Structures are given as structure tokens and as C-alpha cells.
Structure 1
Amino acid sequence: RAENPSIRLGVTGGGAPAAPGAHLAAAVATGQATVGVAWRSRKRGSGPRPWKNTAVQLPTPAQWTRPFGLLRPADEIGMLARRYMHEYGATRDHLFNVALACRNRANQNPAAMMYERPLTREMYMTSRWISEPLCLFDNCLETDGALACVIVSAERARDCRQRPVYVHSAAQGLPAQHHGMVNYWNDDPLTGPAWTAARHLWKHADFTPDDVDVAQIYDAFTPLIPLSLEGYGFCGRGEGAAYTEGGALEIGGRLPLNTGGGGLSEAYVHGFNLINEGVKQLRGTSTAQVPGAATCLVTAGEGVPTSAILLRN
């Protein structure tokens, strides 16, 4: 209605989930809308995957990679992961740390696909390869589902039934030389879009990575976590794998991660569930609540044109 304009934005792709919140917040702040709804729905159970069609003419850059075996996102991330392991000594145990942290949180979440389905190191290490060095548990789930969040002004939020959570800062990022879904052609493929988004994100924030109480980091594949930890400034270049050691990503660790289970163990809805879980954490209603959580980083996919958002109480 004209007297109560509203905006709806859908999310497409792993780099997108944090961006609609930023656009809607800007629209509300500038008076273009009074209510914004961001949403994502997926029906992964329908239809064949696009890479199964061997007759279609491939777009650039896929025509240069798919004939040589980079058919799926798992293959593309697997290549980045192998390079990261070669450069910095990361191991499968580091990737297991990521998968385990997400699974442990899903085990606490009745809405998660992997609720009450524990993961052990033996299960991880003996699972089948999907695209070396990525095994079954390095890959996100296949999920049918839908989520949404509502954005209104801070003033209006005070009258809402639910405790408000505030959009503090947001950014989108694409580095120079980027080309395609996952980039192998720039000077440094291991410094991806997260580094660009992070510069803008922290520039407009009045706190730093050290002040983040809980993080919801896009996890379609386990290697994206150490790469994102570096890109968003939680550790130095090449230190992301070691950062996962000693329970750092668990509740009570240095940076509790993906507390609903994430794409690896709750559901894969292009990362939109990470936004909803971030809101739950700051409302104090998560199934794996971080005590006193007041700030949360939510990121979209590393390796692809990406976005991120900072939430706070």
C-alpha cells in the first residue's frame, strides 16, 4: 500500500545472503520503505544439476575448466583447498575441526537435519571422497527449505513482540581480477572476495574482529572457513587452519561458529539460515547459546562475489 510501502528481496547464490539485509536497511533508513522482507527458498530435490548436461555450450570461464574435470562447485573449492594445504600446511584434521564444530551445534538443534547424528573423526577420515581433498563431510547438505527475516526501523522495532537485533554494518565485495564463480586467474587466488568485503565492513563499524562474540560464516565447504577467518581479520594470512585447533570454534572457544549447525549440518539454504541464527544468538534464543553474545558476524560465500553483515544488540 502507498501509505505503508514495503520491499521484498530474494537471495540468489552463496555470495548473496548478507546483502539483502543491507539493502533493506538502507531502504528503511532513507524512507523508501517502512518494512523489508529478505527471504530464500530452495528445492534441491527437483531436477538434475546443471553440470550433468554435457551437451550445453559452456559459458566463459567454464569452457576452460570443465573439460579438465572442474565440473562442480566441490571440484572448484577442492582445487583451492589443495593449494591452501600446499602453501600453508593445512591438513584434513583442520577441515575436520570445522565439520565437527558445525555438527556439534546441529546435535543441539532439533530443527537441524543432523540433529542427534554425531560425527566422529573416524567417520570423517573414512568417508568417501567427493573431490579430493574434500570428503563427504566437507560438503554442505542438500536441503529443501525456506527462511525469511523482517527489517524495520529501530524506532518501530521497539514496539515489536520480539527483541530487536540491529544491523550495524554491511558490505559487498569483489576483488580486482576476479573472473567467474571461483577465481584462479588473479595474482593470489587464496585472497578472495572476503578480503575486499571485510575492508568495507570494518571501515563502517565501531568494533573490530576481536570484539565479535559469535560468527556465522558461510560453510558450503569446510575450506571456506579458514579462508574466511583470514579474510575477515580473525587471524593472519595462512593462519586460518591453525586457528581451528583446540576447540576454537566450539562454544567457549575463541570464536563460536555456526551455532545452528550451518550449511554443513543444519541445512543448506544458500547461507540464509546463518542470518537467522545470528539473530537468535543476539536475542538469546539459540539452541546453542553463547553466553552474553552481543555482536555477530554473518558472512556469505568466500571465493565468489560476496557480502557480509555485522549484527549487534
Structure 2
Amino acid sequence: MIGIGESQYYRHGKSPDSEFKLALQAILAACKDAGIDPREIDGFSSFSDDRNDPSRIAAALGLPRLRATTMQWGGGGGGCCAAVANGAASIQAGLADCVVVFRSLAQGQFGRFGRTSGVDTISGEKAYLMPYGVLTPPQRFAMRARRFMHDHGVRQEALRAIALASYHHAQSNPRAVMYGKPLSEEKYDQSRWIAEPFHLFDCCMENDGAAAVILVSAERAKDFPGKAAYILGAAAGSGYRTGAIPHNSPLYGSASFDTVAPDLFKMAGISHTDVGVVQSYENFTGGVVMALAEHGFFKPDEANEFLTLENLIAPSGKLPLNTSGGNLAECYMHGFELVLEAVRQIRGTSCNQAPKNDVALVIGGPMVTPVSNLLLASQEVAQ
């Protein structure tokens, strides 16, 4: 990755610009960061049914040719890392030389993502849930998180520590939507329940904006003046019957990384002990608990001891988490902003720099299917 860029981030429905214009802003910012002419781009990759057609973007940017376009299918924000992997695969296969991976959202233009109002028919998973009043993502995922907490004795304080860490880091990040709005233990505890065990501050925001990264081959990356982040490994998918729509999958209290995390570390040739900083998608904090356990950072029964604010903040924590504020406090670009922060950590330019920053893990979309993850590293580690 040689360039990262983003638009301004807004509360949902507050962007003055169209979704397409936001996408262009982020792409041009990434080009400027990389020091590359936009006309060198010849491929695009995205996820979560991004509405911005690559051919239209290519026309707007004046690209002389378009060679590769990929969209990660399913999983919503679980595709944020897979989109990067798909773009890298296009380059590795010789289908493109310079790929932009991006996500753009303008909910004032198209409506709030995941809304349930105005639904006239139900099918699939919703047919098993909506007749019983389970209408929204917090309700659906609360059941999985509660099962895990019950099975392993995980206390509410572990979820609270994740939220506090994200808000703590956001106070050092002027880009963050929650910059200047700190969160305390008391404020968290007194906030309203959304769906137990999720308080208000356990739930991700909804935002408008766009983010983008630029990929080239590892050989070509050495020709650019900026410090590149190298892809060590990537994985996507889910385990046996994870997507069973009646919510009767065998491993129900899971973030869906039971098979995906081993694939990631096998490809990268490293283990979780080599990871210095983590950017984990927070649809809800309970998913982060499960995802970190499934990546090997602690055993499920040790979650309460590991997940403390002191352990999760940079620079002093054992495992700095979501150092830009994450989905809870920086912005919710369906997790793609987490990839940008991982690049900043590798470069050493984060607002909350981790001391061990040569390997950064990004976790996409806990509790959905398919999920994905990504390991980025410095050139020294990647060689």
C-alpha cells in the first residue's frame, strides 16, 4: 500500500456531497499521498455492495484504461479486508498494475444503512427473526455475544474496556467524529441499553464519508518515496454452517474467525505474538471480544483479565486496539477506515502510535459471514 486517503467524516446524513463525490475525494487524496498520477490507476476493488460504479469513476478520473474491478460478495463490513486481498490478487495475477480499494457512504442521499422501516416482505434470516421482534443488527448480534459471555464468564467490564479504548484514542485524532467527546466509565454505565449486553456506547456509529488505499506490487512499492505497508497475509470466509439462517449454527457464540484466523497466520508465516497493534471492526464490542480470542490473543476464559483499558491503549498497553477510534469513535466506513489506520501504524504516523508497529492486524466484521482479516507489515518484516 503506497497511498491512503479519506474525505471528511460526517454524522449519517450530514454530508454536503454525494456518495460519488466523496469516493472521488478519497481516491484523489490517496493519489496525492502516494505521489501518483490518478491516470495510473487501472483497477478498483470494494465491498458491501458499494454503489459507485468503477467505470464511472474511471471516466471521472480520466483513466486511459480500466482492467480489473472486483466486489467482495456478502458479509457487509466483513469484506473490508477481503476487498484489499482481492485488489492485491488482481495485481499478483497480472490483471492490473495499480488498484484502488475504497468504500463510500452518503446516507442522506440513499438512506440509512441496515434500516428496517419500510420493509414490505421478509425472507431468509429475517423470516426467522422479525416475527418475534428481532428487527435490528444489535438484537441479532446481542444473542451471539450473550451466548459467548455466558459460556466463558465474560463480564460487562470487558466490553466497556473496548469502548473506552476507542474513545480514548479518538481524543487524540482530529479526524474522529467523536473527537472532543470523551467517554468515562460512569457515562458508559449510565447510557441506555440498546439490546443487552450492548449499551449505547457498545454500538458502532453510522456515518457519511469515504476512504481509499492504493495498491501496487511489492517490487514497484520500493520506487515510491513514502513508506509503504506490505501485505503479509489475508483471509476470508467462515466455518461450518456459520450462515445458518435459523440461528442454529453449531458454533453460535463466535465471531466467525475460527477457521479464518488460522488461514491468515499460515499465509503470513507468523503468529499472533508477532502482532503489535490491532484494528478490529466494532459493529458491537461483544464481537471484538470473540474475534480477539479467536485470533489467539487470549483464551476465552481469560477475557476479563486481558480486556482492560490499560492493556488496550497506546503507547503503553499490551495490545493497543483501534488506535484512531475505530468504528465506535472515529468513523464507520464499514470498517475500511481501520485499514488506513493500520497503514499509519506501519508508517509511524498514527495519532496514537504503538511502540511495536512493524506488524498490524486488521479484523473485519466479527459475527457476520463471510468475515475477513489482513496482516500488514513494514518492508523490513516483509522481506
Instruction: Give the TM-score, by structure 1 length.
Output: 0.94
Gaps of 5+ in 1: none
The correspondence for 1:306, drawn from 371, 374, 379, is 371
Once residues 180 and 258 of structure 1 are traced to their aligned partners in structure 2, the CA distance between those partners, rounded to angstroms, is 30
Could you tell me which residue of structure 1 aligns to residue 19 of structure 2?
A: none
**1:145 CA displacement:** 0.7
Could you tell me which residue of structure 2 aligns to residue 103 of structure 1?
A: 167
Relative CO higher for 1 or 2, CA cutoff 8 Å, sep ≥ 6? 1
**1:242 CA displacement:** 3.3
- 1:24-173 to structure 2, matched below 5 A, reads 24-46=87-109, 47=111, 49-54=114-119, 56-173=120-237
Contact 1:175/1:192, CA 8 A, preserved across alignment: no
Q: Could you tell which deviates more after superposition, 144-153 or 169-178?
A: 169-178
Q: Which amino acid aligns with 2:125?
A: P
Question: What whole-Å deviation, never above 9, does each CA across 1:115-150 have from its counterpart, x for those lacking one?
Answer: 121111110011111112211101111110100000
Provide closer, same or farther for how the CA distance between residues 5 and 109 of structure 1 changes in structure 2, counting only shifts above 3 A: closer
Once residues 32 and 185 of structure 1 are traced to their aligned partners in structure 2, the CA distance between those partners, rounded to angstroms, is 40
Q: Could you tell which deviates more after superposition, 241-250 or 17-26?
A: 241-250
- 1:274-285 to structure 2, matched below 5 A, reads 274-285=338-349
- Structure number having the greater helix percentage: 2
Please tell me whether residue 7 in structure 1 is matched to residue 72 in structure 2: no
Provide closer, same or farther for how the CA distance between residues 283 and 222 of structure 1 changes in structure 2, counting only shifts above 3 A: same
**1:292 CA displacement:** 4.2
Once residues 305 and 327 of structure 2 are traced to their aligned partners in structure 1, the CA distance between those partners, rounded to angstroms, is 22
Contact 1:102/1:264, CA 8 A, preserved across alignment: yes
Once residues 77 and 279 of structure 2 are traced to their aligned partners in structure 1, the CA distance between those partners, rounded to angstroms, is 13
- 1:158-307 to structure 2, matched below 5 A, reads 158-179=222-243, 184-245=247-308, 247-251=310-314, 252-304=316-368, 305-307=370-372
Instruction: Name the % identity.
Output: 37
Provide closer, same or farther for how the CA distance between residues 246 and 37 of structure 1 changes in structure 2, counting only shifts above 3 A: closer
Instruction: Give the TM-score, by structure 2 length.
Output: 0.77
Contact 2:324/2:351, CA 8 A, preserved across alignment: yes
Contact 2:283/2:366, CA 8 A, preserved across alignment: no
RMSD: 1.8
Provide closer, same or farther for how the CA distance between residues 5 and 93 of structure 1 changes in structure 2, counting only shifts above 3 A: closer
Question: What whole-Å deviation, never above 9, does each CA across 1:62-82 have from its counterpart, x for those lacking one?
Answer: 101111121111111111222
Once residues 320 and 249 of structure 2 are traced to their aligned partners in structure 1, the CA distance between those partners, rounded to angstroms, is 32
Once residues 81 and 375 of structure 2 are traced to their aligned partners in structure 1, the CA distance between those partners, rounded to angstroms, is 9
Provide closer, same or farther for how the CA distance between residues 82 and 21 of structure 1 changes in structure 2, counting only shifts above 3 A: same
Contact 1:84/1:90, CA 8 A, preserved across alignment: yes
Contact 1:226/1:241, CA 8 A, preserved across alignment: no
Q: How many corresponding residue pairs? A: 309
Q: Which amino acid aligns with 1:40?
A: R
Gaps of 5+ in 2: 1-38, 49-75, 379-383
Provide closer, same or farther for how the CA distance between residues 246 and 117 of structure 1 changes in structure 2, counting only shifts above 3 A: closer
Question: What whole-Å deviation, never above 9, does each CA across 1:40-92 have from its counterpart, x for those lacking one?
Answer: 011234525531125x2111121011111211111111112222222222222
Provide closer, same or farther for how the CA distance between residues 179 and 206 of structure 1 changes in structure 2, counting only shifts above 3 A: closer
Q: Could you tell which deviates more after superposition, 69-78 or 235-244?
A: 235-244
Once residues 37 and 142 of structure 1 are traced to their aligned partners in structure 2, the CA distance between those partners, rounded to angstroms, is 24
**1:241 CA displacement:** 4.0
Once residues 159 and 266 of structure 2 are traced to their aligned partners in structure 1, the CA distance between those partners, rounded to angstroms, is 30
Contact 1:138/1:221, CA 8 A, preserved across alignment: yes
